[in-house]
Amino acid sequence: MAPTEAPTEGQYTKGDVTGDERVSLADVVFVLRAAVGYDGFELTVGTSRFEAADMDNNGVINMQDAVLLARMII
């Protein structure tokens, strides 16, 4: 797989919530923490980070997004 440019605001790679240009377990953990409201893991609607985390494109970050993301990397 060829490397891609780092996402800027408005650009994102689905699942790359941490913005490290990889979709990994760290992204799953971030989405899990955001889904349960863990302090410091809020995702703002409309940002590229939110769009990357919203795996089912329903406008809500929840456990379903974490499950879909985990399935993507397994």
3 located within any domain: no
Q: Is residue 14 part of a domain?
A: no
Would you say residue 39 lies in a domain?
yes
- Segment 52-62, tens digit of pLDDT: 999 999 999 99
Chunked into runs of 10 residues, the chain (74 residues) has average pLDDT values of: 47 94 97 94 94 98 98 94
Closest CA to 53 of 74, 67, 38, 2: 67
In a domain, 2, yes or no: no
Closest CA to 53 of 5, 23, 37, 40: 23
Q: Does a structural domain hold residue 16?
A: no
Number of compact structural domains in the chain: 1
Structural domain containing residue 66 = 25-73
